[in-house]
Chains A and B, each alone.
Chain A
């Protein structure tokens, strides 16, 4: 145990003495969070997210959905009433429009029809803008279809118990997921590749110490640093941006450690498959950088084009970000994010097995 402690202690010390690494570990994610938080913090400048529930399924209602889809400044999702209302409660919609059955037929027959608009009222300004925008659009469409002055009435309903969801609440779990990924994947692969290149792994091999014991010290360092980074990001989020953490802190800690182990395994694999520290660094950056941008860390998946959504769902980082978000924003339990945990565990185990299989001492 004292042996493990000493190896951990020196590994920790070495990490602290690497200024460049410290910048990427601490300053970079904080800067990113502050910049994104300041730009999008009040979320007014973000596109309005509107869900449409088409119960009518007529030519007319379809035309309305298409018209909404073609509009700038709006992000449209369609789904069942239940799904859209629940998304609204989670704070993921500004409004949900419900087009009732028989709407198309009646309006063509000249009868006045009503559409229900469920409004997210957590931010009064945004709600006002949303309401006005929706009214304007619906009015215009009704006139175009029937020619009558006010053929469509908008029944406004204010949703109850909506989570006060701000961009900062969204971005912090994303940045934590990113930090976890970089620590395990980029940091650790480079560390092992460097030790191999310098001949340190071989030197350890001629000592009675097992490689596992040596690597355990490095892994513990990564885990501790990741937890410290998480703590700092959460603190800044709460203090500077009034972010609310709805979920259990222990769950967050568990997901951070679990995700870090999974990405450590991936980093270990990269170090096993690359020739030297330069190629390990390049390979891990080539994997981490696109993943950071494509996995929905900075922006909700809903506002991304369809192809990118598919890509995001193929990336392990997406699942870590999703799990952290579910826990932090929706106070989900670990059981309810079982799919995310399963994906991360699967990736970790496969990567670890392959890393051991292809491991080289020199």
Chain B
């Protein structure tokens, strides 16, 4: 049984189609990412699964339960971190977790939760004294109080510095390794590629692609880019003539060669260098990213 199954989900606000007919399946024990720019419909989708919003149409099953009919039962099985919750200023971390624990019939020990969320040294700090990353970690701890089977994290690292982001990634991976299913939304490419087992790429309420990050890149942008410096300079046409090369550009002495067959192209490049007597340096192989996938499918960038 999949953790979540969505069929043809629609949700509009007036004239705006926030979610426009999406279908997806989240398997148990995976980190599933919903990647897309702001306003793509990621949060609305998540909130419908979390029972916070009613869909206009479509069916959503969570662990075999229907979100409309069995909302109460689902609430006990899921843990939710909302995008912008600010907690009680007058309570400390321990007290906040204790208070939220009282909302659930079955809960984990508070100290375990503090350890899981990497907040050991902060348990007696007031909530309003926490840094951005610590506050996000507290909200993850609160999403875990009922030992949920599925955990929803809505933009868990937005606004955090790289170090704080990495700490959260570690927590998320640790949870997956403990057998949890995680659904996260993000507009960070690296986050989706690094963290997610599978990704749904969303734009304007629709899923434009779905699969593992590798699959998506290979399927939609099969090309690799070889960047290098050539001395003395060479006309780009000479590079375009190489077998497998799709395009070659030069700007300020920096050459970029797009190819479907990176390995062969590289060998050809080297022999060309020997033939023509130029020196190739700073050779880098750039792999395409999910950003390139998104660009190819929508003509836009995720992060503008």
Contact = CB atoms under 8 A, between A and B. Distances in A.
Given A208-B104, A208-B105, A10 B85 contact: no
Contact of A207 (B84, B86, B88, B104): B104
Contact of B102 (A6, A17, A199, A200): A6
A139 B102 CA distance: 78
A206 B82 CA distance: 9
Interface stretch (B32-40, B73-81, B172-180, B285-293): B73-81
A136 B52 CA distance: 78
Contacts, number: 63
Contacts of A205: 52
A14 B102 CA distance: 16
* Most chain A Cβ neighbours within 10 Å, of B50, B76, B100, B102: B102
Which size bracket describes the interface of B in this complex? 20 to 34
* Most chain B Cβ neighbours within 10 Å, of A2, A7, A198, A214: A198
Interface string A205-228: 111110000100000000000000
B87 interface: yes
Interface in A1-33: 2-3, 6-7, 10, 13-14, 17-18
Interface in A54-74: none
Given A13-B95, A14-B88, A18-B90, A206 B102 contact: no
B156 to A, nearest CB: 15
B205 to A, nearest CB: 20
Contacts of A199: 82, 84-86
Contacts of A202: 52, 82, 85
B91 A10 contact: yes
A47 interface: no
Interface in B71-120: 72, 75-76, 78, 80, 82, 84-88, 90-91, 95, 98-100, 102-105
A14 B90 CA distance: 5
A278 interface: no
A158 interface: no
A206 B78 contact: yes
A203 B103 CA distance: 11
A207 B51 contact: no
A208 B103 contact: yes
A214 to B, nearest CB: 8
A312 B278 CA distance: 97
A38 interface: no
A318 B258 CA distance: 82
A206 B86 contact: no
B127 to A, nearest CB: 10
Interface of B: 50-52, 72, 75-76, 78, 80, 82, 84-88, 90-91, 95, 98-100, 102-105, 142, 146
19 contacts: A2-B102, A10-B88, A10-B91, A10-B98, A10-B99, A13-B91, A14-B88, A14-B90, A199-B84, A200-B87, A202-B82, A203-B142, A206-B52, A207-B100, A207-B104, A208-B72, A208-B76, A209-B102, A209-B104
